Amino acid sequence: MNAAKTRTTGIGPTAPGIDLNGAAIVLSGSVALSGAGGTGAGSAGIAIPTGLVRANSATNGRGQPYTNYTLSFIDNLSLIKAAHSMKFGVEVRPIRMLTDRQGGTTYTFSNITSFLANQPSSIQFLGDVSAASPFSGKSGFLDLRQAYYIGYAQDEWKLRPNVTLSYGLRYEFYSVLHEINNHAVLFNMMNGILSDPAQPWYQSSKNNWGPRLGISWLPDALHGKTVFRIGGGFFYGPGQTEDQLQPAESDRIGTTISSGPLLAFPLNTQAVIANYNVNDPNLAFQPRAYAPGYSIPERIGSYTFSIQQQLPSSTVLTVAYVGQQERNLFLRSVTNKIIGVATNPTTGAAIVTREFGNRFAEVDYKTSGGNAHYDSLQSTLSRRFSGGFTLGAQYTWSHNIGDSGGSNEANTAANNYNFEADHGNNTFDVRHSFNFSSLFELPVGKGRKFMTNASSMADALLGGWQLGGIVNARSGLPIEVLITRPDVVFRDTRDGSIVANPILVSGVPVTTAIINTPGGGNSRNIRRPDLAPGVNPIIESAGLAYINPAAFSIPAPGTFGNLSRNALHGPHFAQLDFTLSKRFGIGEQRNLEFRSEFYNILNHANFANPGSTRLANALGTGNNQLQPGQPFTTAAAGGNFGVLTSTVANQVGLGTNRQIQFALRLNF
């Protein structure tokens, strides 16, 4: 019997000296239960007891109280003169945020046996930002400030009755976010020292001019039934505030304990605070950093060309190409990389050497310079309500590809030496999208094709009914397949090994430590597997198993996986909705509207992407573990890897199971 990702809250003590009242316990991995799993019961999985909430992508905390406000000073002017329709405007937007980051303690155990024996593998301790900082000497809430300055001018010029030119210019500047009391830690990732936090944390370009140009033409030769439109422009965005306040968040006590007398539950937090020495070469403090040259804003060049054609029966067809080039997008990686590893001859443990020594742990850093490219073919067919019938249909083919999705994508690069290696599908890449809607008034009742001479009673009951349908369909969303890989592994060099020189996850005196993932990166844990040649990663047969684990293998030590970012796409989506409605007149100015709506009338199951797309760490100390280059098995992949476990579950609307609702509305 296996249990995966089991969570229990508010339980009592389960082992001497460990009080778990009020704590949340997360058990990850497949855990063999005693009495059911045979030998090895309780030897797998990881226990992370904590009563905290997720503070950011790398830490947990008690809370993040904040008070913020934004003021906007706006003035606009509109002017119409002859064939020109002009607009001018300015905006000044000061932003202020008063906040704290309340820390806490997170305990990590390598397995259930260690958990019950109170032998944590590491303890992460974070103090409050508002407490006295050993780095800047500041205390109190963070007072973060920034300002936006925006101005624009635009004109719509009627060159001829059938030609319109639109042009304009917009300017935007976003000041550098700063903490007014220099309550911050500014890590210099070029030399591994702390810089003066009073200097700008990053750069903000002042050259943010956004010209816009568009033209529409209705050729006389085509009898006024065809319109050509072409246009483009440059646009800017300030990025996420969360990505720009990292130096202020780092100005607090923070350390990860992996050895020594303090490595026990409960942690003696007062001893940690009392012994905290910012000059300790083994502190393992983990600040966040910005790369030199990190700048805002992000830039987008957008362009489009379309043809709109009037067809018979009040129908209009539009076909358009829409494209975007996105530049200076948000990127993320790690520094203070692992540059060497040695083996303790007595214990076999690994001794890791980092770029800037062990005073700092692995450092998460942010920068800019990413790019993306979007192309789409968009078509629309619409018919306005005429003769009791209306319809609308849209189809879009598109592809969004790049090495980043911009500031809304916080993933770390899988290759911490080369951002371009992450070139692949962006997370919102949807290749095909189709929507169709129609509304048909039944030709029954007075003045209609059938029962045109019906009595008032018959017309009130049978006439004026409207029947509608909506179809929504799209291809699948991207899937990111990842693998859990330790930074360091061990090569078994003992004679007589069943597998010649196998790779293991833990060392003994007769093994040799080697770097597994170049540079490290375990704190972010964004690693990709190798893709097995000639094996389809998608399981085509019907059933809930969707991703084939045999299509992937563990990369060789010292190499990165060759699977590209978001290489796979999930199951498609399709849904048919149905409506039936009628208005009952009540006098001349009032009516009662009856409406029935049938969502997903065919009850088609629309599955979400597999809930588990991370391959387990299949290396181990036994002889039956997978080795680099060997394809994963279903058992080795772990849990429900690649299995469809849930639907796109909305309460009402897209993604719901079949739902029927009725409504009455009085209009007056």
pLDDT digits (tens, 9 = 90+) for 566-578: 999 999 999 999 9
How many residues in total does the chain contain? 668
Better-predicted residue by pLDDT, 587 or 479: 479
Burial 527-551 (b: 16+ CB within 10 A, else e): bbbbbbeeeebebeeeeebbbbbbb
Q: Quote the pLDDT of residue 149.
A: 98
Question: What's the whole-number mean pLDDT along residues 660-664?
Answer: 91
* DSSP letters for 418-463: -GGGG-EE-TT--SEEEEEEEEEE-SBSTTSSBSTT--HHHHHHHT
Tell me the pairing of strands 53-54 and 60-61. antiparallel
Domain that holds residue 231: 66-99+127-250
* pLDDT, average across residues 515-544: 91
Q: What is the pLDDT of residue 496?
A: 52
Phi, psi of 201 (to 5 degrees): -70, -30
CA separation, residue 408 to residues 158, 241, 281, 476 (Å): 39, 11, 36, 20
Tokens at 174, concatenated: 């976003």
Which carries the bigger pLDDT value, residue 347 or residue 530?
530
Least confident of 146-150, 535-539, 648-652: 648-652
Q: How far apart are CA 495 and CA 80, in angstroms?
A: 89
Q: Let me know the angle formed at the C-alpha of 503 by 501 and 506, rounded to the nearest 5 degrees.
A: 120
**Which residues, at least 6 apart from 534, have a Cβ–Cβ distance to it below 8 Å?**
none
For residue 297, say if its preceding peptide bond is cis, omega within 30 degrees of 0: yes
| pLDDT tens track for 88-99 | 999 999 999 999
Better pLDDT: 102 or 167 = 167
pLDDT, averaged across the chain: 86
Q: Structural domain tally of the chain?
A: 1
Phi-psi sector, 273: left (phi>0), alpha (psi -120 to 50), beta = alpha
Q: Does some domain include residue 240?
A: yes
The tens digit of pLDDT for each residue in 436-455 reads: 999 998 887 776 777 777 67
Poorest-confidence range of 321-335, 404-418, 473-487?
404-418
pLDDT tens, residue by residue, 287-317? 889 999 999 999 999 999 999 999 998 899 9
Mean pLDDT of 89-114: 88
Find out whether 604 and 659 touch, Cβ atoms under 8 Å. Answer: no
List the structure tokens of 12. 């009592």
Encode pLDDT of 171-190 as tens digits. Answer: 999 999 999 999 999 999 99
The proportion of the chain whose per-residue pLDDT surpasses 70, expressed as a percent, equals 89
Asked if residue 271 has pLDDT above 60, the reply is: yes
pLDDT for 388 equals: 79
- Separation of alpha carbons 26 and 60, rounded Å: 14
At 17-73, the pLDDT tens digits run 555 544 555 555 443 333 333 333 333 445 566 677 777 666 778 888 888 889 999
pLDDT in tens, 358-407: 888 889 999 999 999 999 999 999 998 777 789 999 999 999 999 998 88
Residue 533 pLDDT greater than 70, yes or no: yes
pLDDT tens track for 452-462: 776 767 777 77
Mean pLDDT, residues 4-20 taken together: 41
> Is the pLDDT confidence value at 617 over 90?
no
Q: Is the pLDDT of residue 520 over 70?
A: yes
Question: Using CA atoms, how far apart are residues 299 and 210, in angstroms rounded to an integer?
Answer: 9
The per-residue pLDDT for 40 is: 35
Averaged pLDDT, 256-282 = 85
- Give the per-residue pLDDT at 589: 80
504 lies in some domain: no
Give domain status of residue 77, yes or no. Answer: yes
Q: Residue 194 falls within a domain, yes or no?
A: yes
- What is the per-residue pLDDT for 584? 82
Whether 499 shows a pLDDT value over 80: the answer reads no
The pLDDT of residue 500: 61
Q: How far apart are CA 87 and CA 76, in angstroms?
A: 7
Domain membership flag for residue 203: yes
Could you tell me if residue 13 is inside a domain?
no
Supply the pLDDT for residue 266: 86
pLDDT of residue 223 exceeding 90, the answer is: no
136 pLDDT higher than 80:
yes
Which of 41-50, 204-213, 598-607 reaches the highest mean pLDDT? 204-213
- Evaluate whether residue 256 is within a structural domain: no
Whether residue 266 contacts residue 286, with contact meaning beta carbons closer than 8 Å, is answered with: no
Considering the domain boundaries, does residue 46 fall inside one?
no
